[in-house]
């Protein structure tokens, strides 16, 4: 794992354990989060993602170990709350249904000291400007989720906690949501996102934290996870139609070839084998028309670590 600059550390968990009665939901969690990072927590249901968020928010206390957020213990520090530096979108949002969207947001704005203008701006950002005066009881699940996101973004929080934030959103709104998060990141905000939608977060996270049964089984950038997993790379080679068989024969029996059709085939190899194979392919001449290099995707890395791969 890459060594991080502790001067910019906004969250630190050291040897954290959380237990309810005889059930341990988090075990020996060590994690530092830097200012401006977008951290994505992934894992199966019950892996400990929400429990970890609640500890960082100060909603629960660890059974043992230490939790620091902005240099303070979030469960005891009034200064963290006073700075109103945290924004939180829970997995299941619930608002008073008789209130309108703008009334709900105005209520939370008063708690955070945000302005009416900011409420209007956020409702526009999340696509609820036209429905702002409708009762929340008439909102769809996706609309309530967007209202919850607007609530979390009030006051330009320094730390934004988002638990399954795109649940109920269509693909266009999901894209818009991540554009909003990208904008907050550019302004220096730190985002901690719990998500099952691996394809959505693959290109956006600074680092991934993979949890299994309450423990961190892998942590790092996509490239770092790939290095840790030592999974094979896949090369897809496109050749002149009708020449696949002869090209595959020239590749040699020692190379793992698959997915053969009339115009292409695939080769699986490990990192140290990649360049020799690429050089070999380039020496095959103009019969090779194109080549794609495809490292393991996040879902493949996730499956690897969940099935027994470890740090």
Q: What pLDDT does 45 receive?
A: 87
pTM summary value: 0.83
Q: What pLDDT does 254 receive?
A: 81
Q: What pLDDT does 236 receive?
A: 94
Q: What pLDDT does 309 receive?
A: 57
Residues 277-307 have pLDDT tens digits of 999 998 998 999 999 999 888 999 999 999 8
Q: What pLDDT does 83 receive?
A: 55
Low-confidence ranges of the chain (pLDDT < 70): 1-7, 77-84, 309-311
Q: What pLDDT does 160 receive?
A: 92
Annotate the chain with DSSP letters as a single string.
Answer: -PPP-GGGEEEEEEEEEEEETTEEEEEEEEEEEETT-EEEEEESTTSSHHHHHHHHHTSS--SEEEEEETTB-TTT-HHHHHTT-EEEE-SS----TTSBHHHHHHHHHHHHT--HHHHHHHHHHTT-GGGTTSBGGG--HHHHHHHHHHHHHTT--SEEEEESTTTT--HHHHHHHHHHHHHHHHTT-EEEEE-S-HHHHTTT-SEEEEEETTEEEEEE-HHHHHHHHTPPEEEEEEESTT-HHHHHHHH-TTSEEE---SSEEEEEE-HHHHHHHHHHHHTT-TTEEEEEEEPPPHHHHHHHHHTT---
Residues 176-188 have pLDDT tens digits of 788 888 887 888 8
Q: What pLDDT does 266 receive?
A: 93
């Amino acid at each position: 794992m890459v060594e991080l600059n502790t001067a910019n550390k906004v969250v630190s968990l050291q040897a954290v354990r959380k237990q309810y009665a005889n059930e341990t939901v988090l075990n020996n969690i060590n994690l530092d989060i830097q200012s401006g990072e977008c951290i994505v927590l992934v894992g199966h249901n019950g892996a400990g993602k929400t429990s970890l968020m609640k500890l960082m928010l100060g909603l629960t206390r660890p059974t043992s170990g230490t939790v620091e957020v902005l240099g303070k213990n979030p469960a005891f520090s009034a200064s963290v709350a006073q700075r109103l530096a945290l924004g939180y979108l829970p997995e299941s949002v619930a608002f008073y249904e008789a209130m309108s969207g703008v009334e709900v947001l105005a209520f939370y704005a008063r708690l955070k000291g945000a302005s009416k203008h900011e409420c209007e701006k956020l409702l526009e950002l999340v696509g609820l400007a036209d429905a702002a005066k409708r009762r929340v009881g008439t909102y769809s699940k996706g609309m309530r989720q967007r209202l919850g996101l607007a609530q979390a973004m009030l006051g330009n929080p320094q730390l934004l906690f988002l638990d399954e934030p795109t649940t109920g959103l269509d693909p266009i709104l999901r894209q818009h949501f991540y554009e909003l998060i990208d904008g907050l990141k550019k302004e220096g905000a730190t985002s901690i996102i719990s998500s099952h939608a691996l394809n959505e977060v693959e290109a956006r996270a600074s680092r991934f934290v993979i949890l299994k049964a309450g423990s961190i089984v892998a942590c790092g950038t996509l490239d770092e996870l790939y290095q840790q997993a030592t999974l094979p790379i896949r090369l897809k080679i496109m050749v002149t139609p009708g020449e696949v068989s002869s090209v595959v024969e020239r590749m040699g029996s020692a190379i793992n070839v698959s997915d053969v059709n009339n115009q292409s085939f695939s080769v699986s190899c490990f990192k140290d084998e990649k360049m020799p194979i690429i050089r070999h392919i380039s020496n095959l001449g103009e019969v090779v028309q194109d080549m794609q290099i495809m490292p393991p995707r996040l879902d493949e890395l996730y499956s690897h670590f969940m099935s027994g791969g470890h740090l």
